[in-house]
Homo-oligomer: A and B are copies of this chain.
Amino acid sequence: MISKRMRPLVENNSAIRVMFEEGKRLASLYGVENVFDFSLGNPNVPAPASVNQAIADVLREEDSVTVHGYMSNAGFSDTRKAVADSLNRRFGTDFGEENIVMISGAAGGLNAVLKAILDPGDEVATFAPYFMEYKNYVANYDARLVEVPSNSETFLPDLTALGNAITEKTRAVLINNPNNPTGVIYPEESIIRLAELLSAKEKVYGHAIYLISDEPYRELAYDGAKVPFVTRYYSDAIVVYSFSKSLSLPGERIGYVAVPDKAEDAKDLTQAIVIANRVLGHVNAPSLMQRMLVRCIDEETDLNAYDRNRKLLYEGLTECGFQCVKPEGAFYLFVKSPTTDEIQFCESAKKYNILFVPGGSFACPGYVRIAYCVSYDTIKNSLPAFRKLAEEYHLK
């Protein structure tokens, strides 16, 4: 008696989440130290100590009714101002609190934005590979996610393909920068050309085409790589951000949406996002986390920990003969499967207690995603297992 719409989702549950449950099962069988679970983007670096301290301070110093209470659906005024000020300081933008909507993580924010702009039959274009939930988010509003290939060498946007994919029905282009699952960062040049293309298409079709940039990994950029801030390059840009990764709070569901004044119908759009967020049952972003952010807005995670993992795993895997694009951001390696059927490759890996996610789960078969947000020791200890796996496929 579940809905017809939900049936395929129940039958074909998220491969990542199934893997997560499988990882827990294997850990209980073999001990957590003997399972190399690279399946989930759950940060292993703890939240900065200042975050837990700030939560404790908020509870001690602020009025409990306010701390845990309803606020304007868009979020506490001072939290939104802290976010706006931080963005302005870092990116030279000119956001005010009225441009910021606090939301329950990027997943909540994307849903609120998509509900605000989509009607049945509308289209949203995104570059494959992409986080598979995008498809479900867009389908929630009876619209269609249109997959556009990335450049197969660099995994950067293929703008010719995007140009061909945009139609009268395209309401938004959704990007994820730094990218899950590839770890690639779209550089300024890509964003400039993307903005030019979208501006031209807006003129052709006579309506806004929003560029929605999903940026939970913004702060995870290595070797000094810069992640361009899209509202500086394109007027109809919307930034969806989560503190899940930057402050290691994925379970807390806290983030924001930023809508610049220059976006078409910016005021109505912001209001629509607030209301969409409310009627989807989010109501508001969790209040204690909003209070914490006023004190911790510029706190940073231990990037160095991920960077060490990245280097060790990337070098370890390439030494074994695996191929992958060198990741500049996020905490994923997107590794070419040594056999076209990457699901079989995932199954083989399980024999060595290695868990990762098939690329098919990101609309990109033939690859696997390895999340290196695990302990350094897990990576170190997994390398002999990876070596055996490589030998099984006669790499090198």
* A interface with B by C-beta (< 8 Å): 1-6, 9-10, 13-14, 17, 20-21, 24, 40, 42-47, 52, 55-56, 59, 64-65, 67-73, 104-105, 107-112, 115-119, 122, 133, 136-137, 140-142, 171, 207-208, 210, 248-253, 264-265, 268-269, 271-272, 275-276, 278-284, 286-290
Min CB gap A369→B, angstroms: 16
Closest residue of chain B to A107 (Cβ to Cβ) is B281
With A46-B65, A65-B46, A251-B68: A6-B276 Cβ-Cβ less than 8 Å: yes
In the bound assembly, the distance between CA atoms of A42 and B64 in angstroms comes to 12
**Which of B116, B137, B208, B250 contacts A70 (CB under 8 A)?**
B250
Min CB gap A331→B, angstroms: 14
Q: Which residues of B contact A282 (CB under 8 A)?
A: 104, 107-108, 253, 281-282
Please give 10 more A-B residue pairs, beta carbons under 8 A apart, in addition to A1-B207, A2-B265: A1-B210, A9-B272, A10-B268, A42-B69, A43-B69, A45-B65, A46-B64, A46-B65, A55-B288, A286-B286
With A119-B5, A276-B6: A42-B70 Cβ-Cβ less than 8 Å: yes
**Interchain residue pairs with CB less than 8 A apart (17):** A1-B171, A2-B268, A3-B116, A3-B118, A3-B141, A10-B271, A43-B69, A47-B64, A68-B250, A68-B252, A71-B251, A111-B280, A111-B281, A133-B279, A251-B284, A252-B286, A280-B281
**Which of B109, B269, B288 contacts A2 (CB under 8 A)?**
B269
Q: Which residues of B contact A269 (CB under 8 A)?
A: 1-2
Q: Which residues of B contact A272 (CB under 8 A)?
A: 2-3, 6, 9-10
Min CB gap A102→B, angstroms: 11
Q: Which residues of B contact A117 (CB under 8 A)?
A: 1-3, 6
A251 touches B116 (CB 8 A): no
Closest residue of chain B to A289 (Cβ to Cβ) is B286
**Which of B56, B249, B276 contacts A59 (CB under 8 A)?**
B56
A110 touches B281 (CB 8 A): yes
In the bound assembly, the distance between CA atoms of A5 and B275 in angstroms comes to 12
B115 touches A6 (CB 8 A): yes
Q: Which residues of B contact A116 (CB under 8 A)?
A: 2-3, 6
Q: Which residues of B contact A55 (CB under 8 A)?
A: 55, 59, 288
B111 touches A253 (CB 8 A): no
With A43-B65, A69-B250, A281-B280: A115-B286 Cβ-Cβ less than 8 Å: no
In the bound assembly, the distance between CA atoms of A163 and B1 in angstroms comes to 21
In the bound assembly, the distance between CA atoms of A67 and B24 in angstroms comes to 17
